[in-house]
Chains A and B, each alone.
Chain A
Amino acid sequence: MSPTLTADSVSVSFEGLRALSKVNLDVPRSRITGLIGPNGAGKTTLVNVLTGFQVPSEGHVILDGERLGCLPPHKIRRRGVARTFQSGRLFSDLSVLDNLEVTGIGLGLQRKEAASRAAEMLEWVGIAHLAERTAGGLPYTDERRVAIGRALMMEPHYLLLDEPAAGMSAEEAAQLASLIKRIIAEKKCGVLLIEHNIGLVLNICDDIHVLDSGEIIDCGSPAAIKASEKVRHAYMGTQADAVGEIL
């Protein structure tokens, strides 16, 4: 079996509210897996489970065939599962270079080595010119790219992106799409892409899972998801227009 990051029948409840119920999801290496669903569907909660920030009330996380138990987040990162956050969460008082260097240190490097790896990564992502800037004052799109660079440090096997295109213009989203494709081609990690920008997801994902009220209601290729009645249904209201335009 090829290596995957897997949610195996994961359920999470918050004081009675069932945020996830018996969710199964595979993130294979070298592929882009999409995760879409309306606000409050449980997408972020699923990422939190996969990265150790949320202990599931039922089910397990399986990393390359091995059950993870309840490892704390920093240990899961050291095992090669990296993530970004919906809200950016850069280290705002540190320079951009230090933001990336921290991951190198967290994964055991000395400062010198971590700093040179961080500089290489900034180059790779195309934001080397920002190295000395304080992360706190960055514009939105740069912030997103720094966050992706920080997560990509030290060659993670899996990269979970929580709404990386939120607030981006069409052009910026296209740049992001090509960056994600480069990540797959050159870094060979498995990407889980959570996005409300359905066009982006349909465009670059190999597989798409649709989450609604904590349940996976559909999954398949972009073409299959495009055609799915259930998905149309889940995206009622304002979301329906957005999907309708694309479908």
Chain B
Amino acid sequence: MAARSSILAKTVSTPVILIGILLIVALVALLVKSGPFNQTVIDIFIRVVLVVGLYVFIGNSGVISFGHIGFTCLGAYATAWLTIPPPMKKMALPGLPDIILNAKLPFAPAIVLAAIFAGVCALVFGKILMRLSGIAASIATFAMLALINQVYSNWERVTGATSSVVGIPINRSIWPYAICAFVVVIIAYLYAISRSGLALRSARDEATAAAASGIDIPRERLIAFTLSGVIMGLGGALYAHSVGVVTPDTFYLGLTFISLSMLVVGGMNSLSGAVLGVVILSTIIQILRWFEKGVPIGGTTLTIPNGLQEIAIGIVMIVILMYRPSGLTKNRELVWRGWPFRGLFGGA
């Protein structure tokens, strides 16, 4: 009856629609042809990677993590180690092992290795953390974030401590970022419909009954934690190549707040929520940025104070939590039910 092929057939419209939305965003960037706007769109794709990475763990397990941006930090520095020209590296980061000091990898293998490195670290942390559950697990992930940040802020000879690590080759084309966002959406979708994804969602609903159904909850959580660690690491590597500079504090509380907000606003338990949360909040952020610079209206220029971005996002998040606690998507997925958009939001 309901074979896997039919699970695919029933749900495959979700990643197709999401990738379609992201393609539209990319095409807008190509049409506008402005440097700053190009950078804005690259930021959107990087955030899609990060927020979908959060979704893979948080959405499926129901355990809130405040620590995932730590893996983003690991990925960003890892690609810096692999791609900065060796002479610069020997000056700035002399503590690195020789094999890395002499390495000069191209973009693609570097970001893949960086993502794998973050994933291995997530596996190690997860082995310990996944035994905890509920609020204890959440707080432990926060401790992990602080720990990673402290190590990277102080290990002078390997990370440059708090000073900026520069010289990371910058990639200004939107396509590498877009393709990574597409791939991450597909990976998250495949995980959600996998055995482990279903097992983890059952444990999110009813942990006791899941254990009584033969589900090894810590093991399934660890799989999701590691996979999301890989994705967060990839997001960090992409970030590093989008601006060419990294510091430990780039990957700390601010980014944690923004990416969790995007997930919450979209709907924590759905992939569509992750993607739409990014697109919608990024649009709001972009509009606020224009206003921070000043927008001419009639005879005067309307300017809003700097820092209003974060305040506005905080307000949007509180309003959503008050009036639509399961997010804009109500934790459901976008599905295609024929033309026209009949029941665009399908079952969970």
Contacts and interface: CB of A to CB of B under 8 A. Distances in A.
Interface in A139-156: 150-151, 153
A103 B203 CA distance: 12
A92 B208 CA distance: 13
Interface stretch (B65-73, B190-198, B335-343): B190-198
Interface stretch (A28-36, A93-101, A171-179): A93-101
A228 interface: no
Interface stretch (A70-78, A183-191, A196-204): A70-78
A138 to B, nearest CB: 14
B215 interface: yes
A91 to B, nearest CB: 4
Contact of B201 (A93, A111, A134, A150): A93
Which of B2, B205, B206, B214 counts the most chain A CB atoms within 10 A?
B214
B59 to A, nearest CB: 11
A161 interface: no
Given A89-B208, A111-B194, A115-B7, A102 B202 contact: yes
A4 interface: no
A77 B214 contact: yes
A93 B348 contact: yes
Interface in A63-82: 72-74, 77-78, 82
B3 A112 contact: yes
Contact of A77 (B201, B205, B213, B348): B213
Interface in B204-224: 204-206, 208-217
A102 B198 contact: yes
Interface in A13-54: 51, 53
B5 interface: yes
B341 to A, nearest CB: 21
Contacts, number: 105
B1 interface: yes
Interface residues of B, number: 29
A243 interface: no
Contacts of B209: 85, 89-91, 150
A116 interface: yes
B7 A111 contact: yes
B199 A115 contact: no
A91 B210 contact: yes
B273 to A, nearest CB: 14
A73 B195 contact: no
B298 interface: no
A180 interface: no
Contact of B2 (A51, A105, A116): A116
A110 interface: yes
Contacts of A101: 198
Nearest to A131: B2
A60 interface: no
Contacts of A102: 198-199, 202, 210, 213, 215
Closest 3 CB pairs of A and B: A106-B214, A112-B4, A73-B211
Interface of B: 1-5, 7, 193-195, 198-199, 201-202, 204-206, 208-217, 269, 347-348
Interface of A: 51, 53, 72-74, 77-78, 82-83, 85, 89-95, 97-99, 101-103, 105-107, 110-112, 114-116, 118-119, 131, 134, 150-151, 153
Given A93-B205, A102-B210, 17 more contacts: A53-B211, A72-B216, A73-B212, A74-B216, A77-B214, A90-B206, A91-B206, A91-B209, A105-B198, A105-B215, A106-B214, A106-B215, A107-B214, A112-B4, A112-B5, A116-B1, A118-B2
